Structure 1
Amino acid sequence: MNEFPGYGAAHEETMRMFSRTLDEDHRRRYAAIEALKIGFGGIAYVARVLGMSRRTLYTGIRELEQLREDDPDHPQRPSGDAKRVRRPGGGRPPITERKPQLESTLHEVLDAHSAGSPTDERVRWTDLKPLQLAHRLLERGFEISRNTAAALLDRAGFRRRALRKELITGVVDPTARDEQFRHIAALRRLARQRGIPVFSIDTKKKEVLGTLSRPGQCYTTAPQTVFDHDFRHLADGVLVPHGVYDVLANVGFITLGTSRETSAFVCDAIALAWTVLFRAMYPNATELLLLCDCGGANAARSLRFKEDLIELATRLGVRLRIAHYPPYTSKWNPIEHRLFSQVERAWSGVMLDCPQTALRTVEQTRTQTGLSVTARILDATYEIGRTCSDTFRDVKDRFIRHDCVNGQWNYLVDPNGFAC
């Protein structure tokens, strides 16, 4: 009897495509049907075409024979459950079952190399890495791999974790804090309804310029060399990046200052962003909503900042509604995670040798959600230690009106003044 010559190439490709659409048990029974249909030489041929072992085909044939004993109207899967592909209990048993003494030995090793928090009984940590744990267990007669040791650590509750910056460093009235967050949300909803631009503003951490290393990596055609130390005297200058982020339009503006972060610099950066980018986007705007932190150069308690805001409102010809995030909650300012995080990613691994390099890089910041960034260099000198004018305390209430809700954090600046 001659061996089966085989189907054509097109038919064999169809067999393979159909086989790939089936579950594991259906696939081997389909292969068994094809082999039985062919007869002599069918098992070898189908195993070669579908890339199966002969053992798998023999298993499929036995399962077909078992089908004849089932109810013809309700045939069973080999697993015995219509929702399961394999039988329960299959697979390799855990190593702790194959080596019964491993569990107790593991606890002994971890107890000797673990410590606990004195304030929280749930927190424990160990100085053992997976490879070190495998060596400790090998000393006690249990040979396991590094991956198995990592699984044992995970099973014991030890996982690789980073420290989480969530604890507030200062004391804030939780009632006032929650009330301020609700108030900011209400201001944003009202601004959207009235068509008022909503800008999140902040100053990013300062960046040193020069042949200095930066964290991260980037694609280059050749390696770049920098100094082996990051001493400050090796720097050629400093950048003070200030951002204005349009919360609704997902558009950002970065001002790269070359001097210092002062309230005058913050206001000049806002004015530059408005003149270069946002005035054309909002030609009919008469009021702006600015969301900012509670400290720094734009601190809520700073009289210098408030005096500069009056001058800024006069320069722009619009009213400025200011809403400060409560102290120690600056990470909730939208600009932090929507703009600054993307700018930092664009600067990753890039040597900022001059302001122009930083400018070109930051303007390439893009995201799949549509973020676009415009940048300018503000090469002006700002002096620190400046105080507000002697008459400002007497006239500030004519131009600044505090809200009834958390007035220390919410106020309106009108360049034309309020009627008494």
Structure 2
Amino acid sequence: MKKEEIHTLWNNMKPQLNEKQKRQYATTLAKTYRYGGATIVHQITKISPNTLTKAKKELQQQQNTTNLTHTENNRIRKKGAGRKKLETKHQNLQTIIEQTITNNTYDNPQKTLTYTTKSLRNIQQTLQTQHNINISFRSIATQLQTQGYSLQQNKKMLQIGEKHPDRNMQFEHINQTTKAFLDEGQPVISVDTKKKELVGNYANKGSEYRLKKNPRLVFDHDFPEGKLLKVAPYGVYVLNDNTAFVNLGSSGDTAEFAVQSIYRWWDVVGKHSFPDAKKLLVNCDCGGSNGYRTRLWKVELQRFADMSGLDVYVCDLPPGTSKWNKVEHRLFCFISKNWAGQPLVDVETVVSLISSTTTRKGLRVVCQSDSNVYLRGKKISDEEFKAVNISKVGSHGEWNYIISPTK
């Protein structure tokens, strides 16, 4: 057989053969070339002469031995061949990795690994330099996953100060009241103000898909000359139908602004969605612009009750539990995801981005800009406050109360 024929046969068969079959087929081709066949086949296949000799012995053994099992006869490599598993080579590998990642320097600078080096590649470097263990960062990730580790962010669960002794009782009251309203088809809303957002061509956390090497260019600082424009999105989330209304104010985050946001929701959406409503349940934080100690909040709710004709039931979340407010994790978090990486260049852009926020569960958002000026420090006299038609509910009347129309 000529050299060119061997080359053609090898190229045609190579893609269809495994490791064992390749070396045995190559040594068979070498026999057909007579003298010097192993050298020619080595040049064509790049298989070493030692491997060809090994394959020749394998073929002879298979011909002379008839008692090999099916598994042994079809084995590609010898039993025990190949690279040893990391766990076999380093029997205490998992213990070393676990000690490395839990060994931080928050309170002890003499520890091995600082908290800033907990990336997979830096763990890899630490294992190589200090324990002489050569392991890829991907294998480290597999080991950590096997041990039950995963990347986790901070979770706001630890309350500063002591928990209110009646916190659970208040949550049960909120749950029972909300369920009763929903069963009756009466509107239930969760309200709060999202953190103020800077309007302009400034950096916004997150990423967006764009053509390669074409990032969106924004200002390198957030404090240019002149007055900065900030907007305060006040959210009204409706538990009944998974809808929301956002009043985008550019003035102070006051109680007057909070109630005006509720009134705008009722005027634009609420009264059309709930034409037979007789009462409204408002779930909110016990502090801030809608706090239970704020007189202006209750006076403005009285005005809203008079204009809408609704009995306004208010249930405040107990102190230190604002993170459980529905509007936070059913509206605001999705707004932040929707505009991630996109600078809020002007008010119209903010309104558009909020209005386009949706979820797989069907969230729909209506957003309007509010150009009214809400002054801070507005005082309510005793006479004005006494005119509020308020009824306290239960043992915690400061958190649970009803404001009814005076007409």
Does structure 1 residue 251 correspond to structure 2 residue 240?
no
Aligned to 1:167: 158
Give runs of aligned pairs for residues 193-212 of structure 1, distance below 5 A. Answer: 193-212=183-202
Give runs of aligned pairs for residues 15-414 of structure 1, distance below 5 A. Answer: 53=18, 94-100=85-91, 106=96, 110=100, 114-115=104-105, 127-139=117-129, 141-151=132-142, 160-174=151-165, 176-220=166-210, 223-231=215-223, 233=225, 236-396=228-388, 399-414=389-404
CA distance in 2, matches of 1:352, 1:165: 27
CA distance in 1, matches of 2:314, 2:308: 15
Q: Percent identity?
A: 31
Amino acid at match of 1:226: V
Structure 1, residues 138-185: CA drift from partner, whole Å, max 9, x if none?
A: 3354322222344556677765432221111233323x1101111011
CA distance in 2, matches of 1:107, 1:192: 52
> Do the aligned residues in 1 keep the contact of 2:117 with 2:123 (CA within 8 Å)?
no
Q: 1:198 to 1:354 in 2, by over 3 A?
A: same
> Do the aligned residues in 2 keep the contact of 1:211 with 1:235 (CA within 8 Å)?
no
Residue 335 of structure 1 deviates from its aligned partner by: 0.9
Q: 1:197 to 1:99 in 2, by over 3 A?
A: closer
> Do the aligned residues in 2 keep the contact of 1:319 with 1:412 (CA within 8 Å)?
yes
RMSD: 3.7
Amino acid at match of 2:179: R
Aligned-partner SS, 1:284 = coil
Aligned to 1:31: none
Residue 415 of structure 1 deviates from its aligned partner by: 1.4
Amino acid at match of 2:168: D
Name stretches of at least 5 consecutive residues in structure 1 with no aligned partner: 1-43, 57-68, 70-77, 79-88, 119-123
Q: Which stretch of structure 1 is more off in the superposition, 218-227 or 185-194?
A: 218-227
Aligned to 2:61: none
> Do the aligned residues in 2 keep the contact of 1:254 with 1:374 (CA within 8 Å)?
yes
User: What TM-score, normalized to structure 2?
Assistant: 0.72
Amino acid at match of 1:333: N
Paired residues, what number?
336
Q: 1:102 to 1:349 in 2, by over 3 A?
A: closer
Aligned-partner SS, 2:382 = coil
> Do the aligned residues in 1 keep the contact of 2:164 with 2:318 (CA within 8 Å)?
no
Q: 1:283 to 1:229 in 2, by over 3 A?
A: same
Aligned-partner SS, 1:391 = helix
User: What TM-score, normalized to structure 1?
Assistant: 0.70
Aligned-partner SS, 1:408 = coil
CA distance in 2, matches of 1:322, 1:178: 17
CA distance in 1, matches of 2:191, 2:142: 45
